[in-house]
Amino acid sequence: MPCFDNKKRVVVKIGSSSLAYPETGSLNIRKSRALIEVLADLKNSGKEIVFVTSGAQCVGAAKGGFLKKPQDTPSKQACAAIGQSELMKFYSETFEQYNHKVAQLLLTRDVVSNQTRRTNVINTFNKLFEMNVIPIINANDVVSIKQLDFDENDTLSAIVAKLCKADLLVMMTDVDGLYDGDPENPDSKLIPVVEHITPEIISLAQGSGGTLGSGGMLTKIEAAQIATESGIDTVIVGNRNPKILYELFESENAKCTFFKKQD
């Protein structure tokens, strides 16, 4: 596993399970604050941080009085609208404590297919980097239609990494990376480096995500494929302690799975 100290523009993606309590869906303030502190500090160290966050639907569902995340599209969209403003308020205030400015970008999949829209987004990213502002991205769930758009944020994070020409994509999740078996089984081993995403690697990524989010290991491997094929090194890392992000940039021993970019 290399040390990523030379990577400057870094996309960090977190899922709903990284920032909300599974029991209630409400924001886990302690965990989210700890992550923002590390991101703010990495920015202070000279990195350009791009933050892709899920969580709008589950945080909005909790705030909107749902006992669990609803399944019908209008309710999901309403919850996303409630939760997104809640999340942005928290991110904006917390980054502000470290003197960092943030901007919200809500994207739909046509940023891939529609050249004008893609150019608009790229121009926005470039201007925000010039202005030293941290872009915070989620899918625009209110205007998106499930199946046709981003219904999980792993793919979105890979597309964002491409659009902003990131040096590294980091996806944080409930497990420390890709295992050669069931991560719950103590005999399974973490795979530290994936040179190529083969059918064997894809078959290891079975199973779905947790109760809060929509993605899982498979969508992360697919995202890693999009990013590495676009020349972007990609890492899947655990979300238990955000200080693991320091280790990625300071040591060669961070516990994670590294997917090598394809030249």
**Residues contributing to the site for ligand GLU (CB under 6 A):** 15-16, 54-57, 80, 138-139, 141, 152-153, 213-215
Q: How far apart are CA 55 and CA 136, in angstroms?
A: 13
Cβ 226 to ligand GLU shortest distance, Å: 15
Closest to ligand GLU by CB, 213 or 238: 213
Report the 10 Å Cβ neighbour count for 183. 16
Cβ 20 to ligand GLU shortest distance, Å: 9
Q: Where are the beta strands (DSSP E) in the chain?
A: 9-14, 48-53, 101-107, 133-139, 168-173, 193-194, 233-238, 256-259
Q: How far apart are CA 105 and CA 119, in angstroms?
A: 14
Cβ 6 to ligand GLU shortest distance, Å: 30
Alpha carbon of 69 to those of 27, 109, 120: distances in Å?
14, 23, 33
Closest to ligand GLU by CB, 18 or 225: 18
Closest to ligand GLU by CB, 214 or 234: 214
Q: What DSSP string describes 148-177?
A: TS-SSHHHHHHHHHHHTT-SEEEEEESSSS
Cβ 154 to ligand GLU shortest distance, Å: 7
Closest to ligand GLU by CB, 54 or 230: 54
Estimate the crossing angle of helix 153-163 against helix 115-130, to 10 degrees: 70
Closest to ligand GLU by CB, 138 or 228: 138
Q: Can you name the residues that pair with 133 across neighbouring β-strands?
A: 101
Cβ 15 to ligand GLU shortest distance, Å: 5
Closest to ligand GLU by CB, 86 or 176: 86
Q: How far apart are CA 83 and CA 26, in angstroms?
A: 10
Cβ 237 to ligand GLU shortest distance, Å: 17
Q: How far apart are CA 39 and CA 49, in angstroms?
A: 7
